Amino acid sequence: MKTRTYVHGVAILAAVLAAGILLAPLRAHAAADPAAKPDAKKPDADKPGPLTEDQIDAILDNMTPDQIDNLVKEAATDRLKVERKQVIAEIVRFRKAYDLYQAGKHKEAAAAAKKLVNINRATYLSAAQHYLYAQALAKSGNPDDAVETCRDILENMPDRISFASASALEAAEMYEKMGRLLYAMQMYAFCVKNYALTIDKATAEKILKKVEEYTEIYKDPMGTLATMMGDVQHRLAKINSGKETQDKERKIVAILDDLIKTAEDQQGGSQSPSQGQQRGKRPGQGKDQQAGKKGGQQGQQGQQGGMNPTRPMQDSMLVPGAVKRPPKVSKTHTGIAEGDWAKLSPREQEQIQARMRKLISERYREIIRDYHSRLAE
């Protein structure tokens, strides 16, 4: 029985030694063990070198199973103490960022939270730090980076369910506020598909209603626009420019604007090799790792003709594997998602017309041209 216990203890010792958590206790034991072989080159007392295989063998030969058990317990206790101190220090820093956020100092909270986030960590504390950072960014008027941070949680910490679910919903709502209705639809659908059990019934019904509405629009966006434009033309012909007509005008311009931005996202995703770096190096991501990771992704995009931004995050993130991530949302086009055509600047009108010539078939061009002429009168 003692032999079996001893062998089991040696196996445990080898495993934890490989993890590096027994070096300090082993050194202490070696210093107190007269049977341990002296090292040929005595290391500096302030900077002890790693234990040699001969030293480890000598220690094991002179240790009983009980001593091995005690050594493992001592090492585990020391490791827990170190980890506990690290967590306490991180919680103190997290509390500082959280207090700033609660006080309404969102820019300061974002700056403080940015120092905490590290996409290489996937703990619950890391998920909380990322979520706080995303919230602070959104409140301080930086929705683009807020959405990207939410996506970091979904991509790297999908099993931190509470934070991942909230991040998916927050990202969808932010996309909606930014006028990126296609991305909002896809994110809402992703949220329901993967985190339905975390959403209350009323919220789930509201989300599903939005998904159905946006799906109806984007399954044939040009056909939807043609129908809406025809309705507005009919109303204007009857000199009906009331609130309902104006709301439809704003919705038409918003959908057109979203289609243009999505096309620019797709074009930029396949043509710009440095697009993923426009946002700068993310906290906790090294230069070599970033270059290698992004380089691999860009190589795949080049072979496939670019990332398809109309199907982001199609695959469930709860299943390990590659995650589809749309390009950074377009900032090239800054169209106004309200008002009518006559209120747009000449540059915006020209940009919309140029893009429509590429995206819209001959069947709809005359309808849109007549519609814009009517609005400009």
Helical ranges in 238-286 per DSSP H = 243-271
Residue 103, pLDDT > 60, answer: yes
Residue partners of 376: CB distance under 8 A and separation at least 6: 340, 341, 342
Quickly list DSSP for 237-250: HTT--SHHHHHHHH
Distances, alpha carbon 308 to alpha carbons 4, 104, 294, 300, 315, in Å:
58, 38, 16, 12, 13
Tell me what pLDDT residue 39 has: 52
- Model confidence pLDDT, tens digit, residues 41-100: 555 555 556 767 777 777 777 778 787 777 777 777 777 677 667 666 777 888 889 899
pLDDT on residue 213: 85
Does residue 359 carry a pLDDT above 60?
A: no
Query: Could you read off the pLDDT of 124-164 as tens digits, one per residue?
Result: 888 889 999 999 999 999 999 999 999 999 999 888 888 89
Per-residue pLDDT, averaged over 19-26, amounts to: 51
Mean pLDDT across 330-348:
55
pLDDT above 60: residue 230? yes
Query: What is the model's pTM?
Result: 0.50
Q: What's the pLDDT score for residue 113?
A: 92
> Which of these, 267, 263, 256, lies nearest to 344 by C-alpha position?
256
DSSP string computed for 93-159: HHHHHHHHHHTT-HHHHHHHHHTT--TT--SHHHHHHHHHHHHHHHHTT-HHHHHHHHHHHHHH-TT
308 burial level (CB within 10 Å; 0-12, 13-18, 19+): middle
Q: Are 171 and 151 in contact (CB under 8 A)?
A: yes
> Which of 28-32, 109-113, 270-274 is predicted most confidently?
109-113
**Tokens read off for 247:** 């709301």
pLDDT class of 331 with cuts at 50, 70, 90: very low
CATH number of this structure's domain 104-218:
1.25.40.10
Rounded Cα distance between 272 and 301, Å, is 11
Asked if 278 contacts 290 with a C-beta cutoff of 8 angstroms, the reply is: no
Q: Choose between 319 and 177: higher pLDDT.
A: 177
Residue with tokens 């909606």: 176
Q: pLDDT tens across 249-266, in order?
A: 777 778 878 888 877 777
For residues 37 and 55, the answer to whether their CB atoms sit within 8 Å is: yes
**The predicted structure's pLDDT at residue 226:** 76
* In the chain, domain spans: 2-79, 104-218, 221-263+306-326+344-377
In this predicted structure, what is the pLDDT of residue 133?
94
Spatial separation of the C-alpha atoms in residues 227 and 339, rounded to whole Å: 19
> Which residue from 14, 6, 20, 10 is spatially nearest to 75, judged by alpha carbons?
20
Of the CA atoms within 13 Å of residue 287, those in its CB half-sphere come to 0
Residue 290's pLDDT is what?
Answer: 45
Q: Which carries the bigger pLDDT value, residue 41 or residue 274?
A: 41
| pLDDT of 172 above 60 | yes
Written as six digits, the tokens of 175 are 């996309």
Q: pLDDT value at position 294?
A: 42
Choose between 115 and 236: higher pLDDT. 115
Which residue is listed with tokens 């590429």? Answer: 358
Query: How much is the mean pLDDT over the chain?
Result: 69
CB 13 within 8 A of CB 4: no
Helix axes of 161-177 and 201-218: crossing angle, nearest 10 degrees: 40
